[in-house]
Amino acid sequence: MAKNTRLRSNLKSWIPRLLQAQSDNLNEADTSARIAKVFEEVLGYDALEEIGRETEMKGKYVDLAIKLDGAIKILIEVKSAGVTLRDRHIEQAEGYASRNNYEWVLLTNGIVWTLYHLSFEEGIEYERVFSVDIGQCELDEACECFSLLSRDSIRKNLHEKHWEHQSALSPAQLGKSIFREDVLMYLRRIIRKQNGILVDLEDLANAIQGMLSTETRELMGPPRIRRQRRRTASEKADTSTAHAPSPANETASESRPSSQPG
């Protein structure tokens, strides 16, 4: 709690100075110098050992790099205080990151701070972890975001844990969970029990998709049903003690009316 209180106090004292930098329209070099001081005085990094400036990577340079135990943890792309930030501004840092498998890039002009998580499985993909405008948001909101960048948080991998939690609840990931065949079949059973009709899985998936906002649908993508692999006869024999029916058997049972003694 004491450390969070200190971060809050230090950030509160730095916000007017960063806003003044924007009013003065400081150039990129001067803005970068202030960002380095924020990492030192607010976020707790050692200025000499842990904040690299104009770090060279294979003949090119990244504005700032945050290091712990000699390993780069975050690349920082700095733009001058008056520049309106765009996602495309991380392209240079993105290139550095992809060649070295660095997963974290921070883009900032001193006012807006946006942290990205990068993945390289199929090309380069990036997603926002947070974006905070210290000129517009409440101090507590800013502190919550800045705390993820603090030395203690990075050392304890709290930013990684935050990302894993956020990613698990993202529209795209929830879409993968909701549109699983077994989930849709479970919902279909409930609908049949309540309404006495057997709906098609595709129709059900489209109906769920239609309930969502346009923005959520765009983030989630089309409702693609994730089919379960059917078990072979030998696999069924190996699990003969299991009581749950296979999806194939369940589909067959749902397609015909149940007959129970009256």
Long-range contacts of 190-197 (CB under 8 A, 24+ apart): 192/254
Q: Are strands 71-78 and 104-108 parallel, antiparallel or unpaired?
A: parallel
pLDDT at 260: 41
Average pLDDT on 123-148 reads 90
Number of other residues whose CB lies within 10 A of the CB of residue 194: 8
The whole-angstrom separation of Cα 46 and Cα 25 is 28
Q: Is 157 left (phi over 0), alpha (psi -120 to 50) or beta?
A: left
Average pLDDT on 174-181 reads 76
Give me 241's structure tokens.
Answer: 């003690």
Residues in contact with 172: Cβ distance below 8 Å, sequence separation at least 6, in sequence order: 219, 220, 221
* Claim: this prediction has a pTM higher than 0.95: no
pLDDT for residue 229 is more than 70: no
**pLDDT confidence of 164, banded at 50, 70, 90?**
confident
**pLDDT confidence of 204, banded at 50, 70, 90?**
confident
Average pLDDT on 152-169 reads 82
Average pLDDT on 174-178 reads 73
Question: Who wins on pLDDT, 41 or 160?
Answer: 41
Q: What is the DSSP string of the chain?
A: -HHHHHHHHHHHHHHHHHHHHHHTT--HHHHHHHHHHHHHHTT---TTTTEEEEEEETTEEEEEEEEETTEEEEEEEE--TTPPP-GGGGHHHHHHHHHHT--EEEEESSSEEEEEEEE-TTS-EEEEEEEEETTTS-HHHHHHHHHHHSHHHHHTTHHHHHHHHHHHTSHHHHHHHHTBHHHHHHHHHHHHHHHS----HHHHHHHHHHHS-HHHHHHH-S---BPPPPPPHHHHHHTTT--SPPHHHHHHHHTS------
Orientation angle between helical segments 247-254 and 181-195, nearest 10 degrees:
20
pLDDT at 252: 46
pLDDT for residue 150 is more than 90: yes
